[in-house]
Amino acid sequence: MEENKQAPPPFRVQLRYWFRKFVPPVSRERRGEVRLNLRDSAQPDFEYFVLVVLSSMIATLGLLTNSGAVIIGAMLVAPLMSPIIGLGLGSLVGDEKLLKYAVSAIIRGAGIAVIISILLTWLNNALPFVTLQELPIEVLSRTSPSPIDLLIALAGGLAAAFALAQPSLSAALPGVAIATALMPPLGVVGIGIAMGRWEVAGGAFLLFITNAVTIAFASMLVFFALGFNPGTKDGERVPRSLTISALVTLIMLIPLSYLSFTAFQKSSRTREINTVVAEEVSKFGAELVELSVGANENDILDLEITIRTPSRLYYSDVNSLQEEIAVKLQDTVSIVVNQVFADILDPLIPPTITATATPPTLTPTSSPTATSTLTPLPTETPTPTATYTPTPTAVTALIQNVFNDYDQCLDLHQRAGFNSPIIGRVQNARFITILYGTRTINGLAWIEIEDQEERVGWIPQVCTFPVTLTPTKTPRATATSPN
């Protein structure tokens, strides 16, 4: 007698069994309570609109003042989460009344929030309370949504729906409201419209739509997993509304991915520009402090460069810098350089003492004086007085042949160092003035001089031989007429 062998259950049944073992459905009574609670909280009544007005005011003012703490407060007050979750549950179970309440509350609430944001921005521009030279960071951060924002909204929607279905987890709702920001993007939409920045308003509106659609889809997933669907036992049939919501959520990835790719390209280009500019600026012994990148109507790359440098850059230096940056970036470049002069002092590195030529000093000598002589005559003889005017000491540079290339001693450099641009030639055995600037580059001491053509530059100290001229006296006699 053959034994009756039972066929193993299908894989789909086994999967459902293990799923229900870890995620048991909620009771029928709890499902009814959740639907009633969402109907009440999603209904666009007086209390709902009061919270919308207050939260939109808080969010807009927080955005204008660039205050993250104020914006978080607006997230906690905003009542938009409940109608969005109600939209997901109404779509899943086919509750037309809940759907009507949720759609009306979302559209009217979002419209009121945008209008209030526009009015507050106009009021601020008219008075103004806050002077906006440029858009705050809190505003700009909500104008370029990405797939990461979609994932955040998905996780936040799952957490919010699960917390609503489980009464013991209701304390987690405030944190979910902060994570899935709904009111701040609407405030940014209003600010962008009021300031005529349509790209700002469009990016923020896309962020709001992404959050709303993704939260609704996530809530449908949770309610379907917890047994809220009206299908067969244990949710064997996937509702059509859940499938449509999943497709809409996937479609939202298209513009988000495009914006992310565009932002990635812009960020890569900005990083490349910053690297090239910093490298070229360092060749002049300067340090890049700030770089502003823009483009004009002729697609010319505008760069405003702020550098910290120990020595001045001249027109020829900036022209050379612009050419090198254009070659490296393979683009037409226009630059403006802001110089900040500063010396770098490190207490861990003691200063290097370099012997420098000491300017000659004059030692005054006593002036000859004539003594008066008494005579029996009643008249007074004139007393001659010899005076002299000292001539300023001149310093001449006798060029010494200390390098293999003799011209190296005659080149007048713009800054210390042989890599510095040459601004002229020094004639041998001509009078020059040794200034007080000294620097040591690669172990070679450089001094700052001024030649007879009033050009100021740098030459190696070893190429000069200071000569001190002895001051001479010029006698001059003065006589006093007798009375």
d(CA 144, CA 201): 10
CB atoms within 10 A of CB 445: 16
CB atoms within 10 A of CB 321: 23
- Where exactly are the structural domains of the chain? 11-238, 267-341, 388-476
Three-state SS letters, 114-143? HHHHHHHHHHHHHCCCCCCCCCCHHHHCCC
Q: Taking Cα atoms as reference points, which of 450, 474, 468, 472 lies closest to residue 361?
A: 468
What local confidence, expressed as pLDDT, does residue 174 receive? 64
d(CA 333, CA 219): 51
Strand order in the sheet with 422-425: 422-425, 411-413, 456-460, 444-450, 430-441, 395-397, 466-468
DSSP-based three-state secondary structure for 146: coil
Q: Tell me, yes or no, if the two domains 267-341 and 388-476 fold the same way.
A: no
> What does residue 373 show for φ and ψ, rounded to 5 degrees?
-115, 125
d(CA 165, CA 171): 12
Cα–Cα distances (Å) from 91 to 87, 212, 218, 223, 231, in that order, read: 6, 14, 12, 11, 13
Strand order in the sheet with 287-295: 287-295, 301-309, 333-341
What local confidence, expressed as pLDDT, does residue 377 receive? 44
Beta strand extents in 223-295 (DSSP E only): 287-295
d(CA 189, CA 207): 10
Q: What is the pLDDT of residues 293-334, one digit of tens each?
A: 887 767 788 888 998 888 888 888 888 899 899 888 888 888
287-295 and 301-309 strand pairing: antiparallel
Helices within 283-405 (DSSP H only): 315-329
CATH number listed for the domain at residues 267-341: 3.30.300.70
- In the chain, count of helices (H) and strands (E)? 13, 12
Measured at the alpha carbon of residue 468, what is the angle toward residues 467 and 471, in degrees to the nearest 5?
A: 150
DSSP-based three-state secondary structure for 358: coil
Using alpha carbons only, how large is the chain's radius of gyration in Å? Answer: 42
- For the chain, list residues with pLDDT below 70: 1-24, 167-180, 230-237, 297, 343-346, 348-407, 428-430, 465-483
Q: Is 461 in contact with 436 (CB distance < 8 Å)?
A: no
- Token pair 């910053």 is found at 274
What local confidence, expressed as pLDDT, does residue 230 receive? 60
Q: Taking Cα atoms as reference points, which of 230, 265, 219 lies closest to residue 82?
A: 219
Q: Is 55 in contact with 78 (CB distance < 8 Å)?
A: yes
> What does residue 443 show for φ and ψ, rounded to 5 degrees?
80, 0
What local confidence, expressed as pLDDT, does residue 179 receive? 64
d(CA 339, CA 320): 16
The total number of residues written for the chain in this structure: 483
What local confidence, expressed as pLDDT, does residue 384 receive? 45
What local confidence, expressed as pLDDT, does residue 198 receive? 92
Quick one: DSSP state of residue 431?
E
d(CA 228, CA 23): 13
d(CA 182, CA 398): 78
CATH class of residue range 388-476: mainly beta
DSSP-based three-state secondary structure for 445: strand
